[in-house]
């Protein structure tokens, strides 16, 4: 079977790409990993809603596999939205990092976090809030030993997890015994960067550091959740460089807003940054891009580029002196 071509057995309608050995990917708006052995399948993420869960269960059933578990890279709705359907249908286990587990079980937290309070109705939908599911296993990582770029935590069935901080609170990656690494939203394909312009970032310092460390990950193939499969460290390094370039451009755009105004509020910095990237804000983009801009402002302050000051009950940002 060609490892870069969707494989659809006779009579089956869903494309599945065999990456190596027992490791597969179901391509889509969010790439879903499948690790199938001895009739049992483990998923890496579950898509954005019950229809995605139904599709994944159909794919597994057509191939004689029973879904026994889902490892969520993180809790965003496009990664955990199929959990509830799959757990109700198959009784499968749900695995997530300790922090992400809270969001998986109480998805309303995500919209509230993004908004900074009780979220408006524009954020109370399946794109921001997955259906809740029960996390059966919480993943914790051993402390780094200095010998590898990431600490690994063993999972069932020849899988292991490793931390990928930055994009969200406790995001993780999954490495299969076939040396295929699923990378969640630690980096984005070029088409995604071109379309959405500003990636969502929770912890800017960790996001950049994860990108710098990714090319040292010891695997043969790498699967971003949003982008084509990467073959070898060379392709991985090239894409991480493009993501770092976008991150640095984002920081530069925020600083340019401050320099233009002398001192700027968050709203000023957000409006200027969105305009610079050609983004028309609505409620959803205001929450997503706004959260990223807040994170970048915090990062630039912590790294000594910006200062923050309250005056007349307003917070303003200016260049550090």
Q: Domain limits of the chain? A: 17-246, 247-319
Name the CA radius of gyration of the chain, rounded: 20
Under a CB-based contact definition with an 8 Å cutoff, are residues 59 and 16 in contact?
A: yes
pTM tops 0.75, yes or no: yes
Give the model's pLDDT for residue 321.
87
152 Cβ partners below 8 Å, 6+ apart? 141, 142, 160, 161, 162, 175
Query: What CATH class is the domain 17-246?
Result: alpha beta
Under a CB-based contact definition with an 8 Å cutoff, are residues 113 and 76 in contact?
A: no
As beta bridge partners, residue 316 has: 309
The neighbour count for residue 27, using CB atoms within 10 Å, is: 14
Taking the alpha carbons at both ends of the chain, their separation in whole angstroms is 61
Q: Give the pLDDT of the chain (321 residues) as one tens digit per residue.
A: 223 333 333 334 458 999 999 999 999 999 999 999 999 999 999 999 999 999 999 999 999 999 999 999 999 999 999 999 999 999 999 999 999 999 999 999 999 999 999 999 999 999 999 999 999 999 999 988 888 889 999 999 899 999 999 999 999 999 999 999 999 999 999 999 999 999 999 999 999 999 999 999 999 999 999 999 999 999 999 999 999 999 999 999 999 999 999 999 999 999 999 999 999 999 999 999 999 999 999 999 999 999 999 999 999 999 998
Give the model's pLDDT for residue 148.
82
Q: Are strands 23-26 and 172-176 parallel, antiparallel or unpaired?
A: unpaired
The CATH classification number of 247-319 equals: 1.10.10.10
Backbone angles phi, psi at 287, to 5 degrees: -70, -45
Q: What is the DSSP string of 115-171?
A: HTSSPPGGGSSTTT-PPP----EEE--PPP-SSSSS--EE-STTEEEEE--SSSTT-
Give the model's pLDDT for residue 15.
86
């Amino acid at each position: 079977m060609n490892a870069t071509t969707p494989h659809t057995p006779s009579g089956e309608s869903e494309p599945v790409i065999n990456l190596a050995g027992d490791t597969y990917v179901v391509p889509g708006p969010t790439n879903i990993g499948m690790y199938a052995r001895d009739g049992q399948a483990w998923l890496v993420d579950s898509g954005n809603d019950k229809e995605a869960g139904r599709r994944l269960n159909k794919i597994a059933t057509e191939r004689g596999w029973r879904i026994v578990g889902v490892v969520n890279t993180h809790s965003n709705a496009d990664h955990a939205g199929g959990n509830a359907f799959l757990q109700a249908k198959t009784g499968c286990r749900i695995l997530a990092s300790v922090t992400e587990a809270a969001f998986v079980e109480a998805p309303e937290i995500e919209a509230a976090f993004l908004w900074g309070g009780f979220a408006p109705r524009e954020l109370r939908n399946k794109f921001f809030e997955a259906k809740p599911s029960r996390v059966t296993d919480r993943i914790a990582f051993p402390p780094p030993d200095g010998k590898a770029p990431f600490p690994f935590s063993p999972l069932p069935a020849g899988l292991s997890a490793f931390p990928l901080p930055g994009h969200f609170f406790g995001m993780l990656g999954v490495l299969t015994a076939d040396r295929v690494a699923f990378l969640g939203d630690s980096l984005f394909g070029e088409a995604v960067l071109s379309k959405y312009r500003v990636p969502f970032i929770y912890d800017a310092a960790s996001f950049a550091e994860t990108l710098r460390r990714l090319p040292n990950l010891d695997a043969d193939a790498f699967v971003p959740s949003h982008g084509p499969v990467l073959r070898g460290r060379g392709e991985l390094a090239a894409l991480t460089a493009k993501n770092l370039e976008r991150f640095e451009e984002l920081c530069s755009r925020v600083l340019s807003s401050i320099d233009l105004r002398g001192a700027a509020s968050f709203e000023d910095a957000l409006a200027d940054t969105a305009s610079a990237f050609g983004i028309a804000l609505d409620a959803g983009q205001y929450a997503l891009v706004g959260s990223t801009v807040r994170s970048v402002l915090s990062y630039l302050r912590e790294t000594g580029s910006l200062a923050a000051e309250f005056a007349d009950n307003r917070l303003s940002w200016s260049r550090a002196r």
